[in-house]
Amino acid sequence: MNYCSQCAQPLTVESVAGRERPVCKACGHIVFRNPVPVAVVIATLKEKILLVHRANAPLQGYWAPPAGYIEIDETLEEGAAREVQEETGYQVAIDKLLQVHSRPNTGIIFVIYQGRIIGGQPRRDEIETLDMGLFAPDQLPQQDPPIDSPEIDRWFFEVMADLLAQFEKGLDT
Ligand SMILES: [Zn+2]
């Protein structure tokens, strides 16, 4: 982020209202760095949970619930359902908000929903996922926590491991 997104002039770092921020002296544009929401969906079908084997960072190579960024023209719930459909082909009904997690300097906020698979055809996204599957509580993939990985990986793993542990015990539906 070295050049102004508005006028392409170089940015300088200045104190703005008590906080250091990149500023464009040419046009006055101030760069605000704010975390963005990532929707995560615990989607179930007949007591099984939908997981995807992630092809990309964060948590590349791990099994995790479908997750993704929200687009500007959709609600969180719409974005959550769309991500499930794109990654797995399944249509889901979003039932309720389960949890919200934030951690400084990761750049994101996890917004976790519970949903039900109500249709669609299983068809994985070959770019985002290596594999996908529905897992019963006693068949969840056993995964070791990431070591020497970026903070975002370790945090995502913690959040996910906690969710899967809750699923194993039985989600409060
Ligand atoms: Zn500018």
- Per-domain residue ranges for the chain? 1-33, 36-169
Please give the distance, rounded to the nearest whole angstrom, from the Cα atom of residue 37 to the centre of ligand 1.
26
Please give the distance, rounded to the nearest whole angstrom, from the Cα atom of residue 21 to the centre of ligand 1.
13
pLDDT of res. 106: 92
Asked if 68 and 38 touch (Cβ cutoff 8 Å), the reply is: yes
Please give the distance, rounded to the nearest whole angstrom, from the Cα atom of residue 9 to the centre of ligand 1.
6
Please give the distance, rounded to the nearest whole angstrom, from the Cα atom of residue 73 to the centre of ligand 1.
26
Peptide bond preceding 58 in cis form (omega within 30 of 0): yes
Exposed e or buried b per residue across 70-103, where buried means at least 16 C-beta atoms within 10 angstroms of its C-beta: beeeeeebebbbbbbbbbbebbbebeeebeebeb
For the segment 94-142, what is each residue's pLDDT rounded down to a tens digit? 999 999 999 999 999 999 999 999 999 999 888 989 999 999 999 999 9
What tokens appear for 64 in the block? 């995790």
CB-hemisphere CA count at 13 Å for 48? 11
61-to-40, 116, 128, 157 alpha-carbon distances in Å: 17, 25, 11, 12
pLDDT of res. 172: 61
Asked if 83 and 74 touch (Cβ cutoff 8 Å), the reply is: no
Question: Which residues make beta-bridge pairs with 99?
Answer: 112
CA 120 from chain centre, in angstroms, equals: 22
Dist CA 99 CA 165 (whole Å): 14
CB atoms within 10 A of CB 37: 16
Tokens 């609600």 found at: 75
Please give the distance, rounded to the nearest whole angstrom, from the Cα atom of residue 35 to the centre of ligand 1.
22
Where the chain has pLDDT below 70, the residues are 1, 172-173
pLDDT of res. 62: 97
pLDDT of res. 1: 64
pLDDT of res. 170: 85
Tokens 């109500």 found at: 118
Fold annotation for 36-169: Nucleoside Triphosphate Pyrophosphohydrolase (3.90.79)
